[in-house]
Amino acid sequence: MHTREELTTILSAVSPPSVVGVGDNVLDCYLHEDLAYPGGNALNVAAYSRLFFGGEAGFIGIVGDDRFAAHLLGVLDAVGVDHSRTRAARGQNGMAFVALDDDGDRRFVGSNRGGVQELLRIRLSAADHEYIGGFSRAHTSLYSSLESELPAIAERGTAISYDYSDDADPQVVRATARHIDVGFFSGGALTDAEVEQLGAYALECGMGAAVVTLGSRGARAYERGVRRAIGIRPVDAVDALGAGDAFITGFLGARDAGADVAASLDVASAAGALACTMRGAFGYAVEAGDDARAQMLRVYSPT
């Protein structure tokens, strides 16, 4: 069982990264606690870069004008993530709802369909591109609708990483791969053979490296002529939410510091384990209240 101190020591050996997250943000509302925590893949990667590695971090996204958006931006200020290029729109901030199942595990049960992000998409200006170009890496996700902006980001020399989650269409992978330094996939439901096929396909499409996270089975990473695997690090976990995004951040931080695939996986596993010792993605809860619960417009069926 690894301690927080041991995990922090591993991460402290990595040079501070330079990362801007572009895209999704959300408040994860824990119904059983009546608390909401900041989250979202692009935002989490920026926040973990600061919290775990002390890196330079920025975030560009679309937030609402409610108290949850105000809390989220205040947390970014507290953590040290610059959000000067983030847009605010009239309406509700994105919110996802989490409940406990019969086994005590957390699962997503609903959302407000992204709040203001449902109808709006980020379109980057020349000033945005100049800002992004000031970072070594830009990270985005399938749910950030940034595909049309990837060529312009890549042309400026900024490395791009992309979270394809577990439901990316193969055509999306093929259309984006040539711009992607590292692509991340959630493959917990895939067989070993399917994981191998996915890694090979991503590289065939032009991706620099592909990483497939497998839940309790660990993760596998693929690069030209390289295939590496790693298991999970046992830790006294309090909440696994955000662990995948922390894993991504760890891999990217190590890679950008010059580590090879195997060493990057090792740092990634430490970052993912450390995230499991924190409530929510990375803490900073706010009271949810009736105004949060009233936003559960979309309900997910149990799987």
Mean pLDDT by 10 residues, the chain (303 residues): 95 98 97 96 98 98 98 98 98 93 76 93 96 98 95 96 94 97 96 97 98 96 97 93 97 98 98 96 96 84 58
pTM to 2 decimals? 0.96
Query: Can you give the pLDDT at residue 296?
Result: 86
Any domain includes 236: yes
Q: Is residue 179 part of a domain?
A: yes
Residue 298 located in a structural domain: no
The total number of structural domains in the chain stands at 1
- Output the pLDDT for position 103: 61
Q: Does residue 303 sit within a domain?
A: no
pLDDT at 226: 97
Domain-embedded: residue 252: yes
Residue 193, domain member (yes or no): yes
pLDDT on residue 162: 98
Q: What is the pLDDT of residue 100?
A: 75
Distance CA 47, CA 35 (A): 19
- Indicate whether 98 belongs to any domain: yes
Per-residue model confidence (pLDDT) at position 104: 59
Whether 85 is covered by a domain: the verdict is yes
Residue span of the structural domain in which 194 resides: 4-292
CATH of the domain at 225: 3.40.1190.20
Sheet strands side by side (includes 137-141): 87-88, 56-63, 18-23, 137-141, 159-163, 182-186, 209-213, 219-223, 226-230
